[in-house]
Chain A
């Protein structure tokens, strides 16, 4: 057993030693990081990203900062999609399937987890790509927030690995993918300026439409893009 599988096994044993601990880890690994990501994006949108100056006293927030937040969201989503496509081609079996694990949770609960995860590959982790893209983006503008969030994401990734969703190398692969996507999107920001600027301006011009749409996107992030993936699968008749 390599270091990768050994570390995963050690984390699994630690979590599976106690029924309550494993259930809590399962719940946290499923949703906590996504909710945190959505909340951080909200904070960045409403003045958290420090760049530029507000155009007037009524709009209050700098258009440049908002463009950057939208670019960051684009990079995060791109990282998630690319990692998911690669994972479906690579088809690395998840630890929970490979080891045929029977953790201390109800059979129905575990069957639900298996049905949800069994037919998707684990390398690179699409979730880690999304989470760490946000950390990479924050590192450019809010290094202290990035350090705090980075540690939080490492901890949640540990839980994610421990419950058997992924190997540590899947997380590392996903994190690298996230950082690369952020670097590429921000390198191409002049080319993407028109789309980011016009989208940011929509929030001032049509707030009644733009903010509900933004909330819909944030709610979808908290549920791991379930609506977006469902819409893609219906429109393009794909299994995502």
Chain B
């Protein structure tokens, strides 16, 4: 199993490190892009479904149902982003770029800088995988094609992350599995928390301007890897998401 992990990592690293341009593109695409894509998917499905409270056609659910699911998904994403860093310290597994020799066709100074960022940050499980697969599972509950499509897209972006040496394939796979199970668990409790969730959704209807401004700040934070919530956590509890 370990050798499969290492072989797959080296294979992906070879693919990504074929040219400096490709490696740089991979660095760019794994930095903020997946988080921005997550925010865009979230907002797209916030407006998915028929407007109003009642289903007017058999095939489309009303937005209020979809929004309840999305609020649960957001809570799930927050949960994973907060629980991920302490989980990583249970195993203290070093990242491939720290423990392995790999191809990195970038300026040596840049690479030293990138390595230094990840030196004290264990890799198991992958926090982005945890978060993104909560979202993909939630989207699957709303629309199967969108769920599968987003899962494939996130898998591709996470494979780039593996190729850069930021995570082992097993970190990503286990992160995706934990995220999936966590999201399934959350979606199972939806009938029990329907009432408070509906109240939150209706707040967006009755106090649209302030609620959507708050929603915008949440999505802005999501697009920056939950940097603000991480800062608040660091201040309050002494640790945060990095």
Contacts and interface: CB of A to CB of B under 8 A. Distances in A.
Interface of A: 35, 38-39, 42-48, 57-61, 207-209, 211-212, 215-216, 218-219, 222
Given A212-B40, A215-B39, A222 B208 contact: no
A45 B47 contact: no
7 contacts: A38-B216, A43-B212, A61-B208, A209-B44, A211-B46, A212-B43, A215-B216
A10 to B, nearest CB: 32
Contacts of B44: 207-209, 211-212
Nearest to A227: B36
A47 B43 contact: no
Interface in B22-57: 36, 39-41, 43-48, 51-52
Contact of B212 (A45, A58, A209): A45
A59 B52 CA distance: 9
Contacts of A216: 36, 40
A211 B212 contact: no
A43 B213 contact: yes
A39 B219 CA distance: 12
A115 to B, nearest CB: 16
A166 to B, nearest CB: 26
Interface in B207-242: 208-213, 216-217, 219-220, 223
Contacts of B217: 39
A58 B216 contact: no
Nearest to B37: A212
Contacts, number: 62
Contacts of B41: 212
Interface string B180-222: 0000000000000000000000000100111111001101100
A15 B210 CA distance: 33
A43 B209 contact: yes
A109 to B, nearest CB: 15
Contact of B220 (A44, A60, A219): A219
Contacts of A45: 212
A222 B36 CA distance: 13
Contacts of A57: 52
Given A46-B208, A48-B209, A215-B40, A222 B47 contact: no
Nearest to B45: A208
B62 to A, nearest CB: 10
